[in-house]
Amino acid sequence: GEGITEFNKAAGTYKEYKFPRGAASPAGRISVYRLRNSMKEKNLAHVMTIGGGVFAFDIKERKYVPHKLMPHLMGSSSVTDIYEDESGIVWVGTIDGGMLSVYENTNSIMNFTTATEDLKLSSNFIYSVFESHRKEIWMVSSGSGIEVLDPVAKKVLNISPANSDLPTTNISAIAPSLYDKNRIYYSAGASGYGYIDATTRKVYPFKVPLLPSNFMTSAVGEDAKGNFWAIGPVQGVYLISPDRKRVIDSLIILPDSVRKSKNPPQDRLFGTRRITGAKFDKTGCLWITTLDKGLIKFDVYSGKTYNVAANPGNSKSLSHNVIQDVFLDDDGMFWVGTENGLNVIDPLKLTVERIDLPPVTGSNTIYSVTKDKKGYYWITSQSGLIKYDHKTKKSVTFNELDGFLEGFYIASATASDGRIYMGSLAGMTIFDPEKVEINNRAPAVVITEFSFLNSGLTVNSIDPLLKRDESGMPVLELDYSQNSFALKFAGLNFLNPEQNRYSYMLENFDPAEILSEKRRYISYTNIEPGEYTLILKASNNSGIWNNQGLRIKIIVNPPFWRTTTAYLLYLLGFALIFAFVLSLQKRRIIKAEREKNMLKESELRARAAEAQAMAAEEAMKRKTQELEGARKLQLSMLPAMCPALPRYRICGYMKTAMEVGGDYYDFKVDDEENFTCVIGDATGHGIKAGIMVSLIKWEFNSFSSSKNSADFFAKCSANIKELNFGNLFMSLSLLKFSRDSFLYSSAGMPPALLINSETGAITEILHKSMPLGAFKNFTYQETEVEFRPGDILVLFTDGLSELFNETKEIFGFERLKEILQKNKDLEPSPLIDVLKEEIRLWTGTGEQNDDITIVVIKKTG
């Protein structure tokens, strides 16, 4: 009862090895029950006892060492047997605790909490992790400020108001500076923001004038120019100068917030008030994450914003608008974790790929993504930690049974040494991804229950029903009355068995293999007589499949009426057919009558088709005449020539489409410096479009430059409504030129492009408004624009910007602006010649789908 005894057979001597002190059971006695060599460790023996659990005896050193199984015995003190299977599970038989299964895959996984002695945390809730340039791990812990882990010294430093100038322990985000790597920026909600010196750990809070005192920050960042970005969940995104003393720009301004900004006080973030953070891509664009609008891309150079959001029914859109995390990989792609799965976004093309991950029974939320040095992605989700290979599209799921913390992780980062750091609600985990073990043992498949559905008979073992063919393959032979059956099957993997997956196929019946995921019950009904092969496959917790699986040949015998004897009887019965010979003549007569009726019906159909073709030809002629009339009417509305004024050079051009689109432009001259220009586009085609243009020309001829443009638009709109042309409207721009400026009004037209003679910059003049005739009482704006000598104004209809080439690419505003930029020094007429050549090259042999109208006006003095 005190240990084990070694017998030296050669010397005939005994040597006793007593158990370590303090190993006695509560009853005060330990009895050795069994002694067995370890299957995995050559020099280790398991000493199983009654009352003392299990001891490990080092055979080489002849001494007891701590047994790894002791912490897993769950209070059991009497161990009767130990078995180590091929998958790494250790099965432990006990007297007082039943059968236990133990799997240890923690050799490379280290978990740390507030209770651990080494690397003790101040809070278990870690929700932000990254590595600084000093190879230290910076973390944000809930209610405890900032934790800094030194992997070399194996120490954790806490930065909080208690030991620094940090304003609060509630830190919403931290981010390294791109401008000065020694700076770690932080945001502290309503408590403001600042930076921490990564070397000295000193905290430098700062305030920015003009920002409201209650500005809540959810994230901070810095671009390559040193500009500071403050992101608020409600107030929006603010760009602050490198000296942190002024607001340069803002993307959204609310009534109670700052109004000093280069941009007008309008919402450019698609209406969101739930911003969670932001991140720069490799081109310098800012990507803003939200809880209701998906992702918003802000081009800091052009000022444009783009929304990448979920679109129900479109599999190429985001899977959900609630964004949890974005990860920029080394290929420049964004991995976006949402409340409903993972997506990959190309930041340039704005294309979305949804990642197919293992199905889950609960939430499909993805919290964070990081990438190891081998190119595998590690994804934290509510269903566990997922290792994903984007090339093969294969994944493996890990959980607490693999040595990780219970629950789920919400933040992760890959350090320069290759280790991955993950924060959760329960603490922090550090592991080397190359050392995390994968279960490579494919599970065997067995049938656990077989049922005959027609008779209701169920057997727990199918083996007594099986035979073997010449190749040794099991064969199940069934009568026709047994052609409906069901079965249950299982994969023999006991390591995280809830992650096992299954598939099945009945060859010659199922068209393809069926992936049943976790379902292990299948049934077949009314199987036709013949030979089939049932194939059952399973995969283990690491996604390793047993592709051979379990294969059983199933033979379903035919019923009596489909046997040889039955067919002989059928031949005898066929002799009775001759009794119906007299009826054959009658059948021939019926058939001839039917053919006659069919011939008559075919003739009628041919005549109807001929009449229909003639009607279609006549309709085409009428349409051709109508289009030709509309084209002539349209051209008659245009001015014979552009005005020749001392202070202006003006040139106009129109190219009609194959189907008339109703474009129009005209001029009215008051004196040498004052004139009015109009350009428009009717939305319909043919005669109706021509009538629309005639109406506008009549109104314009009666228009005086002293009149208000809004009144002119209102009158035209009312007249168009009275025409009752349905969805036919008129887009129109009206410009009144005076000595140093012009008044610009627009109703649904593309922007006018103004080329600055000094800087060469091109400005878009755009009014967001409805076409004439769309609404009766719509209010149209009038904007005064400075027009200096040398400036060039380009007006055009959407037939130019929306022109398609042979590959269905659109001409677009950006292409037009590039052409104008390259030829900004040309006079109006040569400039229009350049545009005409560009139009010809763009369309190639394709057809022009809409009228194109261009008016170029240059101020000469």
pLDDT by residue (tens digit) across 112-153?
888 887 788 888 899 889 999 999 999 998 889 999 999 888
Residue 477: which H helix or E strand, with range? strand 474-478
Residue 94: which H helix or E strand, with range? strand 90-94
How many other C-beta atoms can be found within 10 angstroms of the C-beta atom of residue 585? 9
Say what the pLDDT of residue 213 is: 60
Reported as a pLDDT band with limits 50, 70 and 90, residue 178 is: confident
pLDDT above 90: residue 523: yes
Say what the pLDDT of residue 515 is: 92
Q: How far apart are CA 826 and CA 856, in angstroms?
A: 11
Contact by Cβ (8 Å): 512, 409: no
DSSP 310: B
Token look-up 């560009």 returns 838
Mean pLDDT score, 640-667: 86
Helix (H, G, I), strand (E, B) or coil at 471: coil
Mean pLDDT score, 823-848: 92
Instruction: Concatenate the DSSP letters of all residues of 443-460 into one string.
Output: PPEEEEEEEETTTTEEES
pLDDT above 70: residue 28: no
Say what the pLDDT of residue 308 is: 93
Residue 109: which H helix or E strand, with range? strand 109-112
Q: Which domains does the chain have, with CATH numbers?
A: 3-102 (no CATH), 109-273 (2.130.10.10), 363-436 (2.40.10), 445-564 (2.60.40.10), 637-859 (3.60.40.10)
Question: Across-strand partners of 666?
Answer: 678
Which has more pLDDT, 814 or 622?
814
How, if at all, do strands 501-507 and 530-539 pair? antiparallel
Helix (H, G, I), strand (E, B) or coil at 573: helix
Residue 611: which H helix or E strand, with range? helix 582-636
Reported as a pLDDT band with limits 50, 70 and 90, residue 625 is: low
Helix (H, G, I), strand (E, B) or coil at 790: coil
Q: How far apart are CA 475 and CA 681, in angstroms?
A: 78
Contact by Cβ (8 Å): 774, 713: no
Mean pLDDT score, 278-300: 86
Which has more pLDDT, 533 or 88?
533
Of 541, 535, 448, 452, the closest CA to residue 494 belongs to 541
Left, alpha or beta for 575 (phi > 0: left; psi -120 to 50: alpha)?
alpha
Reported as a pLDDT band with limits 50, 70 and 90, residue 269 is: low
Say what the pLDDT of residue 661 is: 61
Say what the pLDDT of residue 262 is: 44
Mean pLDDT score, 222-234: 71
**Phi, psi angles (nearest 5°) of residue 283:** -90, 0
Q: Name the range with the highest mean pLDDT among 17-31, 274-288, 373-387.
A: 373-387
Contact by Cβ (8 Å): 346, 328: no
How many other C-beta atoms can be found within 10 angstroms of the C-beta atom of residue 43? 11
Q: Where are the alpha helices (DSSP H) in 299-338?
A: none
Which stretch of 119-123, 189-193, 653-657, 769-773 has the lowest confidence by average pLDDT? 189-193
Q: How far apart are the first and last CA of the chain?
A: 115
Say what the pLDDT of residue 398 is: 86
Kindly state the percentage of the chain with pLDDT values over 90. 43
Q: Render the burial of 75-102: b for 16+ CB within 10 Å, e for the rest.
A: ebbbbeebebbebebbebbbeeeeebeb
Mean pLDDT score, 790-807: 92
Question: Across-strand partners of 442?
Answer: none
Q: How far apart are CA 221 and CA 280, in angstroms?
A: 8
Say what the pLDDT of residue 259 is: 34
Distance of CA 289 to the CA centre of its chain: 13
Say what the pLDDT of residue 795 is: 96
Mean of the per-residue pLDDT values for the chain? Answer: 85
Contact by Cβ (8 Å): 65, 58: yes
**Could you report the per-residue pLDDT of 304-357, keeping only the tens digit for each?**
888 899 999 899 999 999 999 999 999 999 999 999 999 999 999 999 999 988
pLDDT above 60: residue 692: yes
Q: Is the dihedral of CA 308, 312, 314, 316 positive or negative?
A: positive
Q: Where are the alpha helices (DSSP H) in 709-787?
A: 709-723
Question: Across-strand partners of 383?
Answer: none
pLDDT above 60: residue 680: yes
pLDDT above 80: residue 522: yes
Q: Enumerate residues 6+ apart whose C-beta is below 8 A from 194.
A: 167, 185, 186, 203, 204, 205, 206
Reduced 3-state DSSP string for 798-829: HHHHCCECCCCCECCHHHHHHHHHHCCCCCHH
Mean pLDDT score, 619-647: 73
Question: Across-strand partners of 239?
Answer: 229, 249
